[in-house]
Structure 1
């Protein structure tokens, strides 16, 4: 068959038209409605399990082959709170380094900067003076922290101080700091951790704390601008209800064994539907360090062999936890898996099952009965069955 330039030109136009049409095909939510995506969201596809990665190494930045490994598996990542501090001096420099590396490997990659809204982690240059050694030399920063009402000592956990979201000067400083870090690093937005504001420390002001956190997150979203992503950790929780309108994505962290109960997973699936209908993204994060097996023999998962043993456990438990994600997955729902937040905690693990063809879900999940804990769901290339009471699953 012969082609001339006119043939190629026409063919190119047809292919371009087809690709544009394909790109605009709407994603269906499990209730039949259409997901309202936004132009600044990451790429999403049901081709294989949609993955989100979040990692950090406090001692170094990634090697080129590690960047390539992660970029091959996802379009959506976050650089964790202390990444690169050891060799670059500050976490925002580590984030900037990785943003540049991932954008070079995959220009459309969405990379988030980590910042905490409750704990004053001293890993960035912005936070470096929130330490026992330095804080008394900076009264303007000390005023941003929560004091014990009786002793007047600063509240802390393992020498990490607590931010006071009720202080309007702190809120202004925090919003400006996060926005500056996102701009400096070149990130596509921010992952905001610990959105509770320590409401339980001030029960008489719990409502004020929650409202203040909502005010701060609204200000952050406005400061970052409409094309930046704000991902809130457990922003679906009761204590974070005031922040939900200002986020673009929610993480289900599952930070304890109770968060993996059959009742909690069912609530997660219901929330994933609500979040999707609101046009927001979800991250379904599973850390196998909270699996009941790990809690049965905690000393086994400590010491030099910790990562090796958790890696083995993560492979053994993948089918169950992947099934738990797939039962409730909606458009722009992502799966995150491992056993912690450091680079060595699963982000460089090879999980072949996550690369298998999946395809879009054919319908919502089905429950065998109102009292049983068995659920099924059909995808184009996979059938999923899970029993969240016996913690068994099968993906065919």
Structure 2
């Protein structure tokens, strides 16, 4: 009887990790707790690698075959900040166009509207007043911008100005603007980029900046309503701790090769667990433009064939970065892969590995030794091994 009970317990644990729980749309987190899906979240499945797409083309909207390509591979996307501006005149029109195109094919797909909380990008009709040639004609907007303490001029980077989150009038305008963009476009929520508030420009007020950003994001979540998604970029950091309670999803952007170090990846996996336990989604975004191969050979960026070089690099590095995602993946953790944010930077690539049968994880990852950097994890249809010190990996796909 004792042997029978032990075998029965082992069988139950295996079933618990391999399939959704009896509750509808519930999935097991790697520590054995249960992730309860919110009704407004996108569809999630372990059948294949869960993918998130984020892209834009500043000149035009998507062609029908491009919509078909993307919609077959994901249930969760964001339309980037300048998409369709050249063809339609404003980015919110580009988002609206794509929301309609995607939902015509797949009504349940979740599409997000992009807006930045630090850079005053002038791509929407709501923000064209922030163009350098327009700003002096819009004093009501100019007061929302940071003044450089040294030059006493508007702080900027490549003629893009910086929002001043410490201005309460700006926070009201910003929340209303994001909500307007979401409602006009028919989007399912918003991706909020750059939530640092340029705190380093006002080091003596850094904590005030962080709190103000948290207040603004909380106001956004309330005004959008309970059924809209708020996805924050790099909101897992200590500096964004006041923002974290108001987001539904977090992106690990990995915007530099230092963020792909073995230590940082280990921290990411811990954060993915923490985020999942909080009932929030994760986007594990890898851009191979920050791979060490590129930093050691900057010619990747040069010339008209740069996309061809990056496409080949993305294929070469796919198994490693895919494995890095799978080691830490939790329920409602999505993978994003490419080499930038434009449509031509990977969103139209075909990576057959992402279509292979994956199946649910059978438990948490295993670290081979406490001091080493080798990790393994088992999925229903795949075995994953990765060495983050040597940047090597192997995904063994099991025959069904």
Shorter-normalised TM-score: what interval? over 0.9
Number of the residue aligned with 1:297: 297
Which deviations, in whole Å up to 9, do the C-alpha atoms of 1:255-290 show, x marking residues without a partner? Answer: 000000000000000000000000000000000000
Secondary structure in 2 matching 1:223? helix
Total equivalences in the alignment = 377
Number of the residue aligned with 1:134: 134
Which deviations, in whole Å up to 9, do the C-alpha atoms of 1:327-385 show, x marking residues without a partner? Answer: 00000000000000000000000000110000000000000111100000000000000
- Equivalence map 1:182-193=2 (5 Å): 182-193=182-193
Give the Cα–Cα distance (whole angstroms) in 2 for the partners of residues 363 and 134 of structure 1. 56
Number of the residue aligned with 2:165: 165
Number of the residue aligned with 1:275: 275
Secondary structure in 2 matching 1:313? helix
- Equivalence map 1:296-335=2 (5 Å): 296-335=296-335
Secondary structure in 2 matching 1:395? strand
Give the Cα–Cα distance (whole angstroms) in 1 for the partners of residues 74 and 390 of structure 2. 31
Give the Cα–Cα distance (whole angstroms) in 2 for the partners of residues 58 and 274 of structure 1. 36
Give the Cα–Cα distance (whole angstroms) in 2 for the partners of residues 25 and 300 of structure 1. 43
Deviation at 1:132, TM superposition (A): 1.4
Give the Cα–Cα distance (whole angstroms) in 2 for the partners of residues 299 and 180 of structure 1. 42
Number of the residue aligned with 1:16: none
Deviation at 1:239, TM superposition (A): 1.5
Give the Cα–Cα distance (whole angstroms) in 2 for the partners of residues 264 and 312 of structure 1. 25
Provide the alpha-carbon RMSD of the alignment: 1.1
Match status 1:47 vs 2:56: no
Deviation at 1:148, TM superposition (A): 1.1
Give the Cα–Cα distance (whole angstroms) in 2 for the partners of residues 24 and 359 of structure 1. 17
2:56·2:343 contact (CA, 8 Å) conserved in 1? yes
Give the Cα–Cα distance (whole angstroms) in 2 for the partners of residues 55 and 169 of structure 1. 31
Secondary structure in 1 matching 2:393? strand
Which deviations, in whole Å up to 9, do the C-alpha atoms of 1:123-178 show, x marking residues without a partner? Answer: 00001010211111111100000001232200000000000000000000000000
Number of the residue aligned with 2:244: 244
Deviation at 1:202, TM superposition (A): 0.3
Inter-CA distance 40–369: structure 2 relative to 1 (3 Å threshold) = same
Number of the residue aligned with 2:202: 202
- Equivalence map 1:245-394=2 (5 Å): 245-394=245-394
Give the Cα–Cα distance (whole angstroms) in 1 for the partners of residues 22 and 109 of structure 2. 20
Number of the residue aligned with 1:152: 152
Number of the residue aligned with 2:217: 217
Give the Cα–Cα distance (whole angstroms) in 2 for the partners of residues 289 and 21 of structure 1. 39
Deviation at 1:23, TM superposition (A): 7.4
Secondary structure in 2 matching 1:293? helix
Number of the residue aligned with 1:103: 103
Give the Cα–Cα distance (whole angstroms) in 2 for the partners of residues 99 and 279 of structure 1. 26
Deviation at 1:301, TM superposition (A): 3.2
TM-score, structure 2 as length reference: 0.93
TM-score, structure 1 as length reference: 0.94
Give the Cα–Cα distance (whole angstroms) in 2 for the partners of residues 240 and 159 of structure 1. 26
Give the Cα–Cα distance (whole angstroms) in 2 for the partners of residues 207 and 302 of structure 1. 40
Structure 2, unmatched stretches of 5+, are 1-19
Secondary structure in 2 matching 1:202? helix
